[in-house]
Structure 1
Amino acid sequence: MKLWDYINSGKVYMIAEMSANHGGSIEKAFEIVEAAAKAGADCVKVQTYTADTITIDSDAPAFQIHGGLWDGYNLHDLYKEAYTPWEWMEPIKKKCEECGVDFLSSPFDPTAVDYLENIGIEAYKIASFEAVDIPLVRYIASKHKPIIMSVGMATEEEIREALDAIHSQGNDQVAILKCCNVYPTVSSDLNLKTIPDMIQKFNVPVGLSDHSMGYAAAVGAAALGARVIEKHFCISREYKTADSAFSMEPSEYKSMVENVRAVTTALGTIHYGPTDNELSSGEYGDRRSLFAVEDIKAGEEITTINVRSIRPNAGLKPKYLDDILGKKAKADIKRGTPMAFELIE
């Protein structure tokens, strides 16, 4: 699995979240895996739950959704429509292996964890809403697999509680994802500046689970040190599912990956002075230096008329101009000669 190798090397791990975008078709699920792999995803993620493992069938007010993308839905009905049949998990995992991408899933109760263990899952994703379910977090951690945990809406205290639960099981392979659980997320709710603060406060790799449109947030997060980017992925938003409205199409995801890779490369390392490429390209030679700009006779005084700071970089640095002004030339100096202390009395 690429996950921890990427995180340790500083490369950003790109997750394509399938979620409900298969629309109830395993063929569409396979198509999503193939398209995500071609678009540059490192991993395809699904969710392992049923309507009855994540909630109960109730028409009580607490189970009704008011506002947002799923306004008017009953929770049980929404999850019944959006879930991925468990018997698909192993075939999807095999399709991921064929396409060279990792398989990841979010379990939403212990039975889902047990099921995923039985099919040989290599890592777990914990969803934002489940990050406060400490018994579930602890149970997932007890499997000693790498964990990626979204912490949308979680307070600092809740994040520490979840991390403590993971560490209590002797599991130190955990990354946390900044997240806003509004679908789609508006830019003003992203608060990406929290990412460097999370890195410092929690001393674990940090990433972004992003529900905003486009990829500006993903690129910004990578520039701020994110090591994991998760985005919902679909073949086309025209194929309507519970999650399609805020999901990326393949061409968009490909552009995101390219731009995240580009900004990660551009971050480089802390470096001052010319790079090797600057030296080899000759551009370093275009820096300014001191030259004789008129013929100077032996014994003649060096002035701002006969010596100036010009390109290229072959003579004394310009900062030495005051040191040589008023001094005399040791010998004749031809116009265009780079100045050197050896030429001055």
Structure 2
Amino acid sequence: MKEIQLDSRKKIKNNAEPYIIAEIGANHNGDMELAKKMIISAKEAGADCVKFQSWTPKSLIAKEEYERNQVYNDSKKKHFGSLEEMVKKYALTNEQHKELKNFCDDNQITFASSPFSKAEARLLNDLDVPFFKIASMDINYLDFIQDVAAYQKPMIISTGMADLAEIQRAVDACLKVGNERIILLHCISIYPPKYEDIHLNNISMLQKAFGLPVGFSDHTIGVSIPLASVALGSCLIEKHFTIDKDLPGWDHEISADPLEMKTICSESKNIVNSLGSFERTVSEAELEKRKKFRRSLVVNGDLKKGHRLTEDDLTAKRPGTKIAPDEMKYVVGRTLNQDIEEDGLISWDMLN
């Protein structure tokens, strides 16, 4: 299975410590100070990367859609204005991109963003982002994927709303320009999804189907589902992030707060360390514990030297420091070479 250097600090692969992306997206609400607070908070929580979204009011949405004032989230939370007003406020300028990239560099956390047009991909490439993230909505925008992949940086592709054929075509678009550094993210593009619609086993399926590192782009509420993905070998977790779930905006409600992000970062490491291997082993600590918690053969009454032992003479009690109960058949029929009191443990040197 492939191992991919995703940034200067971390390589990723399946069934290893996952790379954690705190997806700020548009949760900065157009406020650079809020964006910087989120970056610092994500860093303190243990995230490897903060990711934004790079679009302009004209690069993503057509005039007709603005006129319909479409709502793009599944939340009932009210926002401050029309779709067009929000898109204009939440869009990052080129200078803001540079400012956030420099701020991340100064604070030693990786800056990344999802481009939604070729111009934005060029901007991010000029900023020397370590990888590109393709949003689920663009998995069938093959010309765009191919153009982004041509920069020869690792490609993270979310698979929400996509069938296997569409995922294969997106992978092929990268391979067509010689870019083999591809990471797929299992994703359900509902905010939040129903548990029965998540199908975490798709992580294992995608690993086998494509032979690529596979992670999980999470839109659930809480930490249990992304952590469960780690047990299935997820190489990367992308989780929306906010410092206040009550802020207005598209994704704050379904985002992880700082405590939840810290839990994801720390517990994912514990999960990986606990998975171990398929080989059955007994640790040194457990071997030592056998002495206290297992049983040894003891006698049921006072017995004299020369007595020939029967099953009725024997039972098993703690500690497990002498003859184990599953070795009773090698004891029955042997004679004692010394006296032994009731409830005394038998050792091999007592037997003829």
Q: CA deviation at 1:22?
A: 1.0
Are residue 50 (structure 1) and residue 56 (structure 2) matched?
yes
1:258-277 matches, within 5 Å, as: 258-277=266-285
What is residue 4 of structure 2 aligned with on the other side? none
Residues 15 and 233 in structure 2, CA contact (< 8 A), matched pair in contact too = no
Bigger CA drift: 228-237 or 255-264? Answer: 255-264
Q: 2:106 aligns with which of 98, 110, 113?
A: 98
How far apart, in 1, do the equivalents of 2:73 and 2:54 lie? 25
Q: 2:153 aligns with which of 122, 125, 145?
A: 145
How far apart, in 2, do the equivalents of 1:67 and 1:29 lie? 21
- TM norm structure 1: 0.89
Q: CA deviation at 1:322?
A: 2.9
How far apart, in 2, do the equivalents of 1:77 and 1:142 lie? 34
Q: CA deviation at 1:210?
A: 0.7
How far apart, in 2, do the equivalents of 1:66 and 1:82 lie? 14
What is residue 315 of structure 1 aligned with on the other side? 322
Residues 298 and 328 in structure 1, CA contact (< 8 A), matched pair in contact too = no
Residue identity opposite 1:43 in structure 2: C
What is residue 5 of structure 1 aligned with on the other side? 11
What is residue 16 of structure 1 aligned with on the other side? 22
Identify which of structures 1 and 2 has the higher relative contact order when contacts are C-alpha pairs closer than 8 Å and 6+ apart: 2
Q: Secondary structure at the match of 1:284?
A: helix
Q: 1:255 aligns with which of 263, 271, 276?
A: 263
Are residue 108 (structure 1) and residue 116 (structure 2) matched?
yes
Q: Secondary structure at the match of 2:312?
A: coil
Q: 1:131 aligns with which of 139, 144, 154?
A: 139
Residues 145 and 173 in structure 2, CA contact (< 8 A), matched pair in contact too = yes
Give the unaligned 5+ runs of structure 2. 1-6
How far apart, in 1, do the equivalents of 2:339 and 2:314 lie? 11
Q: Secondary structure at the match of 1:18?
A: strand
**Percent identity of equivalent pairs:** 28
How far apart, in 2, do the equivalents of 1:156 and 1:163 lie? 11
1:1-345 matches, within 5 Å, as: 1=7, 4-7=10-13, 10-59=16-65, 64-65=70-71, 68-69=74-75, 76=84, 78-279=86-287, 282-286=288-292, 287-325=294-332, 327-332=333-338, 334-335=340-341, 336-340=344-348, 343-345=350-352
Q: For the aligned residues, what is the CA RMSD?
A: 2.6
Residues 296 and 329 in structure 1, CA contact (< 8 A), matched pair in contact too = no
Residues 274 and 284 in structure 1, CA contact (< 8 A), matched pair in contact too = no
Distance 1:294-1:169 versus aligned 2 partners, 3 A rule: farther
Count, aligned residues: 341
Give the unaligned 5+ runs of structure 1. none
How far apart, in 1, do the equivalents of 2:205 and 2:212 lie? 11
How far apart, in 2, do the equivalents of 1:200 and 1:318 lie? 45
Q: CA deviation at 1:186?
A: 2.7
Q: CA deviation at 1:295?
A: 3.9
Residues 18 and 234 in structure 2, CA contact (< 8 A), matched pair in contact too = yes
Residues 144 and 171 in structure 1, CA contact (< 8 A), matched pair in contact too = yes
Q: CA deviation at 1:64?
A: 3.6
How far apart, in 2, do the equivalents of 1:291 and 1:96 lie? 67
CA deviations over 1:299-335 (Å, ceiling 9, x no partner): 322223332222222223322223432x031512524
Residues 59 and 74 in structure 1, CA contact (< 8 A), matched pair in contact too = no
Residues 19 and 82 in structure 1, CA contact (< 8 A), matched pair in contact too = no
Distance 1:47-1:261 versus aligned 2 partners, 3 A rule: same
Residue identity opposite 1:285 in structure 2: K
Residue identity opposite 2:264 in structure 1: M
Bigger CA drift: 266-275 or 17-26? Answer: 266-275
How far apart, in 2, do the equivalents of 1:42 and 1:176 lie? 18
Residue identity opposite 2:250 in structure 1: A
How far apart, in 1, do the equivalents of 2:27 and 2:328 lie? 69
Residues 57 and 76 in structure 1, CA contact (< 8 A), matched pair in contact too = no
Residue identity opposite 2:199 in structure 1: N
CA deviations over 1:241-270 (Å, ceiling 9, x no partner): 222122222122212222222222221233
How far apart, in 2, do the equivalents of 1:136 and 1:67 lie? 24
Q: Secondary structure at the match of 1:230?
A: strand
Q: Secondary structure at the match of 2:51?
A: strand
Q: Secondary structure at the match of 2:303?
A: coil
Bigger CA drift: 58-67 or 248-257? Answer: 58-67
Residues 56 and 76 in structure 1, CA contact (< 8 A), matched pair in contact too = no
